[in-house]
Amino acid sequence: MRRLLSFFMVLSATLAVVAGPAPWSEADTFTTHDRVVSDFPRPGTPQVRDGTVLAVAKVGDMIVVGGNFTTVRDPSGTDLVRNYLFAFNVVTNQVSTTFVPVLNAVVETLAPAPGGQSVFVGGRFTDVSGTRIRGVAKLDIASGQPMAGFTGNVANRSVYDMVVVANRLFIAGNFNKARGQDRSILAALDATTGAVDPNVNFVFSEPLSTSRTMGVLSMDKIDVTPDGLRLVVVGNFSKVDGQQRYRVAVLDTGSVPARLADWSTTRYQAQCNALKWPQYIRDMEISPDGSYFVIGTTGAYFAPGGNNPLCDTAARWETFATGSNLQPTWVDYTGGDTLYGVAITGHAVYVGGHPRWLNNPFAADKAGPGAVPRMGIAALDPLNGLPLTWDPGRNPRGRGTYELLPTDDGLWVGQDTSYIGGVYRGRLALMPLAGGTAIPPSVVGRLPNHLYAAGTLLPGSPSSGTDLVRRWFDGKTTGEPTALGSTGEDWSTARGTFMVSGKLYSGSSDGKFYVRTFDGATVGSRTEVNLYGLTSSHFPLANVTGMFFDAQRHRIYYTVAGNARLLYRYFTPESQIVGAETYVASGSGWGSVAGMTLASENLYVATTDGSLRKISFAGGTPATSPGNVAPFSGPTIDGIDWAARGLFVPSFQADR
């Protein structure tokens, strides 16, 4: 997880607030990748020979690694004693022989300090190289010695996470004092001196469990937006300054003093089935643009639905949403396996732990309908949470992947097992950006363009119902029909169609989902899309009457014969994975659909009487149902019969 924001970035963001809001991209200095990283780890990195890697930080050209290990093997093959902490050169992979601090307990978290010459170390230790330092230390990256002038001891317990904003160090843990001052599990320190910031002083209270071993107040993960104005915190608490906040809260750190933001949810209120984990949130990270964050959890399987706790899931939340009882944008269920690590790079949300599957909401500790195998680590589509193609695998899975750190070089993975991508890497690996795969944009059609009808339904069309028929269409007027003739497929068997990025998808009367290429003249051979066990009871493709794709949200919308609702489920074109869960976009009025397509922010719906209607579509929801809109074309209006097995606008721009 990234842990440093520059002074100039925060200053620029502050000035932007005074002058008016600036686009997020102007403030974004978090690590953003232009592709998904490679499946194969970089060779030659040091090997951690025992224990677990819990934290990684990049300081200049050095990588600092923390955890509960004792032995590290350098590239020469020599085993070195390194208790809980070591550093190595990111270019040469050589383990530092001068950065050898001696700690007496586990390192939980690391953060690069401003200036690029030192690193903050947080954990359970009480001694660093003979100096009594409790919970948080600032170490010189060259010598490994504590930096003069910084004192930030915490009382009673430990530091679990840290993040640096300008010259302010936020620390989180289960302590109740910082540098002698009362601070309830969260404090902000001066990054140079360790002095406690009086403007960050929240009272966290009422842990959700009061068991002797796990029921103490704690703050386990924190992260900050790129502009430094929002701090998201998660832990074992249910109130912040007397207001209900169940395990997660958003703090307005741009205010002076900092205050609690108007953001709350009840989705983490109830306890998961595994009672031994009262605080079942295991990681959280904010996106590079600051607009959302993703939470990963443990807790044992809990069937989805209602306000049930989000156990063993990854869930996306919008940072600047407001109000109470907020709901996640998406949830991806593992089916009972823990996610310990989260990292976001723009094109991907990486999650790690010991999952065996993702997209697995309907089964506990086995593959249910839709479950996609992903061993120990995965990359998710940021728009809907479905797995991307990336699948290096961790075997054995062990207990899990604990640290995921994006840098300009790629993605650092810290774990408790030694293999990733089928290669031995000794609990620490860099999945390099070089050799990674770009995620193609989801290109969809815009008007004016051709509008294709697949498998026309009613008599009087220029096709027998087996071909594709196209008309020039600008959203209001249409050209003369042209049948493509033989395309190698019987389009009367189609059950809904849509096109994205040069590929034409359709449901089929045989209950399967197919994809083929299409360039306007030639239809490629169709290939069956793997539904990973989704049957007709979950996705009734044989009965679909219309279908379209929303590229902004990566969703397939569809209607089903005998069902008056407009439904949707997630779909990721890069991996061609279909979401396991069904959602309702509109509850009634969609029973007469006979083909539909989305183009240029409008939905064009054909009905069984052959009419065509235009419906505004914004925010993932149609403005109304077809019955509430007068048709602008149809057999009784202009003599055109639009009823078909599927309608689509091509993803390329056609010539008239």
Which of 532, 536, 539 shows the shortest CA–CA distance to 387?
Answer: 532
Residue 29 pLDDT exceeds 50: no
Tokens of 650: 């091509």
Whole-number CA gyration radius for the chain: 27
Whether the predicted pLDDT of 279 surpasses 50: yes
The answer to whether residue 543 scores a pLDDT higher than 60 is yes
DSSP structure string for 36-89? BPPSSPPTT--EE-SS-EEEEEEETTEEEEEES--EEE-TTS-EEE-SSEEEEE
Whether 479 and 492 have beta carbons less than 8 Å apart is answered as no
pLDDT confidence of 531, banded at 50, 70, 90? very high
Smallest CA-to-CA distance from 433 within 33, 10, 123, 163 is with: 33
Higher pLDDT pick, 552 / 460 = 552
Q: Is the pLDDT of residue 23 over 50?
A: no
Q: What is the mean pLDDT of residues 95-121?
A: 97
- The lowest-confidence range among 455-464, 552-561, 604-613 is 455-464
Q: What is the pLDDT of residue 90?
A: 96
Q: How far, CA to CA in Å, does 374 sit from each of 120, 360, 400, 417, 614?
A: 34, 11, 13, 16, 41
Contact criterion met (CB below 8 Å) for 395 and 419: yes
- Cα–Cα distance, 159 to 108 (Å, whole number): 7
CATH architecture assignment, domain 449-648 = 4 Propeller (2.110)
Q: Is the pLDDT of residue 247 over 90?
A: yes
pLDDT of residue 13 exceeding 50, the answer is: no
Residue 149, pLDDT above cutoff 90: yes
Alpha-carbon distance of 633 to 586, in angstroms, equals 24
Statement: residue 220 has pLDDT above 70: yes
| Alpha carbon distance 331, 296 (integer Å) | 10
In angstroms, how far is CA 13 from the centroid of its own chain?
A: 25
What's the mean pLDDT in 452-467?
71
Distance CA 54, CA 69 (A): 9
Residue 579's nearest CA partner among 371, 295, 408 is 371
Average pLDDT of span 30-39? 91
Distances (CA, A) of 420 to 40, 296, 322, 384, 394: 8, 20, 40, 26, 5
Q: Which helix (H) or strand (E) holds 24?
A: helix 24-27
pLDDT at 20 over 50: no
Please determine, looking at this structure, whether the domain spanning 52-171+182-198 carries the CATH number 2.130.10.10: yes
Predicted confidence band at 656 (pLDDT cuts at 50, 70, 90)?
A: confident
Q: What was the pLDDT predicted at 7? A: 35
What's residue 4's pLDDT? 54
pLDDT tens readout for residues 374-406: 999 999 999 999 999 999 999 899 999 999 999
Give the residue with greater pLDDT, 208 vs 75: 75
pLDDT (0 to 100) of residue 211: 52
Least confident of 236-240, 299-303, 363-367, 632-636: 299-303
Question: Tell me: the pLDDT tens digits for 564-573?
Answer: 999 999 999 9
Q: Compute the average pLDDT of residues 615-623.
A: 96
Domain ranges of the chain: 52-171+182-198, 449-648
Q: How far is CA 22 from the centre of its chain?
A: 24
Summary mean pLDDT of the chain: 92
Identical fold for domains 52-171+182-198 and 449-648, yes or no, is no
- The arithmetic mean of pLDDT across residues 300-314, rounded, is 85
pLDDT at 421: 96
Q: Could you tell me which of 570, 640, 633, 572 has the C-alpha nearest to residue 604?
A: 633
Q: Is the pLDDT of residue 491 over 50?
A: yes
Bridge-partner residues for 593, per DSSP? 607
Q: Report pLDDT digits (tens) over 56-76.
A: 999 999 999 999 999 999 999
pLDDT of residue 15 exceeding 70: no
Per-residue confidence at 16, pLDDT binned at 50, 70, 90? very low
What pLDDT score was predicted for residue 464? 59
Which pLDDT band, with edges at 50, 70 and 90, does 483 fall under? confident
